[in-house]
Chain A
Amino acid sequence: MTIAETEREITEEFELFGSDWEGKYEHLIDLGKSLPLIDPNLKTDDKLIKGCQSKVWLHSALEGENVVYRADSDAIITKGIAGLMIRVLSEHTPNEIIDAKLEFIDQIGLKEHLSPTRANGLVSMIKQMKMDALAFKLNAS
């Protein structure tokens, strides 16, 4: 599945909730709870994304041609959002990740989380994911 296809899939998933904020957030919380636990050894300070009110650890690895992300957070909604980002971006090539438009965030009504003042780290999370992809690309070339 391409990044755009996953984005579309998530958008359709969230459309079911309409303006029901409870359903939407319960879904995010469930996503957060179901995100696979990451190795505690990966939750080191150097994997911590700065600028978040909650702690977000992001671990990126190049497996074959694809970047694989793992993430965790001490806040469950943030973790749910991290889960969505992983679903969209993980296991794609650095180029695909760098070019990803990520319009689904706006479409599923999480745009407010993109505000830099929101301090939940979605902006920093996206930036870090793309930076890591860029680093893998530069190392490979």
Chain B
Amino acid sequence: METLLNHITPAQLAGIRADFPILSRTVHQATDGSQGKPLIYLDNGATSQKPRAVIDALAHYYSFQNSNIHRGIHRLSQEITVVYEKARETIQKHLHALHAHEIIFTRGTTDAICLVASSFGKRFITSGDEILITEMEHHSNILPWQQFCEEQGAVLKVVPVTENGALDLIAFGILLGKKTKLFACTHVSNTLGTINPVKELIRLAHANGTAVLIDGAQAVPHMHVDVQDLDADFYCFSAHKTFGPTGVGILYGKEKWLNEMPPYQVGGGTIKTVTFAKTEYADLPLKFEAGTPHIAGGIGLAVALDYINTIGLDAIASHEHALLAYATPQLQAIPGLRIIGTAPGKASVLSFVIDGTHPMDIGTLLDQQGIAVRTGHHCTQPLMARFGIPGTVRASFAFYNTMEEVDKLEQAVRKAVKMLI
């Protein structure tokens, strides 16, 4: 096997960028025929772009492989079932899960969390029990628990965030109580970039008899994740943030939990036998995969993971770290600019506010210059409230971003500020 470098060389970066067709397009072409601006895509936290290999896999599926899995006796169905289950194994290996049947295909991270809240919640959490989350969670990792608690009479507790955007570990220790049945925590904050010490948090939670769900939506695209090493009970992520298709995500769950949990959605594919009196449900993983899944999406995700593994996650992490280290002081030098989220060792997310400007105005003027960033509350309204701000401008980098793009971001922000103030 070819030895992977622990960084991305300039020549390699050019090749990587060429793998992503969208990165060569322009935006804001004027009606008078004048040239548009080259796209600078810095909204990877919202969704990542797709390499040609993934796009081709989707087209290939619909062109030559399309049929329903797990059902047919005919050749196409058998072929695609093998390909789909192979994709599951690729994902299992990528997360270093013990079994392929611990990998459940879902519609995304949100769907995966809803599955656990509904199914694990009903089976293991009762009135008066506590669910612990954190102040930096995405709404997707707040609302399912809030709704569950309202319906079942459980209590939602929240670990606060410190001024630099780290988790308050002392508060975590205090809030983790005898009644805490589940701790749900993001691996990497989508708004702040904070990388939480999830392995330690899981160890402490387990010592307390508390199960742990990790929202890995912002982690899997950027770093090695080993669910056995972390000892996570549940770990979920979305394909579309990991250079794969939209509409598909993964829930990893320990076999011991998944076997004990009732099905979430029921219907086609989840059963062994059905009579009007009683249904016997299928074994893992099919018990949790009601209906025809996003077959092409699951296959596309495996192709995306293969793709990032050819670059290597060490090289990806190193490149993204270099981008962040280069961008941070450049942006900080802009008068009035304040970075929200300065925890040590953070991921490649730069959230900022600028005195006297509204994030949306900055975002609009960056967009006019061809730069795609996210503005607003990033689906973390409680976190915005904690920092007393209406929202931020967020630039989030991926391995295909370049130092030149960081320079252009800095220049574009300066220009926007000059226009606004």
Contact = CB atoms under 8 A, between A and B. Distances in A.
Contact of B420 (A55, A76, A78, A119): A76
B360 A29 contact: no
A53 B360 contact: yes
Interface in B132-168: none
Contact of A75 (B30, B31, B32, B361): B361
Contacts of A53: 360, 375-376, 391
A75 B358 contact: yes
Nearest to B34: A19
Contacts of A76: 357-358, 361, 420
A82 interface: no
B47 interface: no
Give the bracket for the number of chain A residues in contact with chain B: 10 to 19
A11 interface: no
A interface: dominant SS: loop
A25 B360 contact: no
Interface string B16-50: 00000000000010111010000000000000000
Contact of B376 (A18, A19, A21, A119): A119
A77 interface: yes
Contacts of A22: 368, 419
A26 B419 contact: yes
Interface in B386-401: 390-391
Interface string B360-378: 1100110010000001100
B131 to A, nearest CB: 30
A29 B32 CA distance: 24
Nearest to A22: B419
A53 B360 CA distance: 7
A26 B31 CA distance: 20
Interface in A18-73: 18-19, 21-22, 25-26, 29, 53-55
A54 B419 contact: no
A29 B390 CA distance: 20
A74 interface: yes
Nearest to A75: B358
Contacts of B31: 19, 109
Contacts of A26: 419
A120 interface: yes
Given A19-B34, A21-B28, A25-B368, A74 B419 contact: no
Contacts of A77: 360-361, 364-365
13 contacts: A18-B30, A19-B30, A19-B31, A21-B28, A21-B368, A53-B360, A53-B375, A55-B390, A76-B358, A76-B361, A76-B420, A109-B31, A119-B376
Task: Give the 5 A-B residue pairs with the shortest CB-CB distance, closest first.
Answer: A19-B30, A75-B358, A21-B368, A75-B360, A54-B360
